[in-house]
Structure 1
Amino acid sequence: MKTDLFAIECQTIKGENVTLDEHRGKALLVVNTASKCGFTPQYKGLESLHKKYQDKGLVVLGFPCNQFREQEPEGEGEIASFCERNFGVSFPLFAKVDVNGENTHPLFSALKTAAPGLLGSRGVKWNFTKFLIAPDGKTVKRFAPITRPDKIEAEIEKLLKG
Structure 2
Amino acid sequence: MTNLADFTATTITGKDKDLADYSGSVVLVVNTASKCGFTPQYAGLQDLYARFHERGLAVLGFPCDQFMNQEPGSESEIAEFCSVNFGVEFPMFAKIEVNGEGAHPLYQWLTGAHGDIPAAPIGWNFTKFLLGRDGTVLGRYASDVEPGDIAADIETALATGA
The aligned residue for residue 131 of structure 2 is 133
* Partner amino acid, structure 1, of 2:104: H
Could you say if the C-alpha distance between residues 116 and 65 of structure 1 is closer, same or farther in structure 2, counting changes exceeding 3 Å?
farther
Change (3 A) 1:116 1:130: farther
**Quick check: 1:37 aligned with 2:32?**
no
Partners in 2 of 1:84 and 1:42 — Cα distance? 14
Picking from 119, 122, 139, the partner of 2:120 is 122
Q: Which amino acid aligns with 1:150?
A: G
Q: 1:115 to 1:148 in 2, by over 3 A?
A: farther
Contact preservation (8 Å) 1:5, 1:110: no
In structure 2, what is the Cα distance between the partners aligned to 1:104 and 1:117?
23
Partner of 1:48: 47
User: Structure 2 length as normaliser, TM-score?
Assistant: 0.95
Looking at structure 1, the residues matched to 5 and 155 of structure 2 have their Cα atoms a distance apart, in angstroms, of 21
Deviations 1:47-95 (A, max 9, x none): 0000000000000000000000000000000000000000000000000
- Tell which deviates more after alignment, 6-15 or 84-93: 6-15
- 1:93 equivalenced with 2:117 (yes/no): no
**Structure 1 residue ranges, 4+ long, deviating more than 2 angstroms after superposition:** 114-118
C-alpha deviation, 1:148, in angstroms: 0.1
What is the deviation of 1:4? 2.9
Give ranges in structure 1 of 5+ residues lacking alignment.
none
Identical positions, percent? 49
RMSD value, Cα:
1.5
Aligned to 2:143: 145
Q: Which moved more, 1:30-39 or 1:15-24?
A: 15-24
**Distance across 2 between alignment mates of 1:144 and 1:106:** 20
Determine the structure 1 residue equivalent to 2:62: 63
Residues 148 and 17 from structure 1, CA distance in 2 versus in 1: closer, same or farther, beyond 3 angstroms? Answer: same
1:158, distance to aligned residue in structure 2 (A): 0.4
SS of equivalent residue, structure 1 residue 122: coil
1:121 offset after TM fit, Å? 4.6
Size of the aligned set, in residue pairs, is 160
Q: TM-score, normalized by length of structure 1?
A: 0.95
Which residue in 2 is equivalent to 1:154? 152
How far apart in 2 are the matches of 1:98 and 1:116?
24
Distance in structure 2 (CA, Å) of the matches to 1:114 and 1:148 = 23
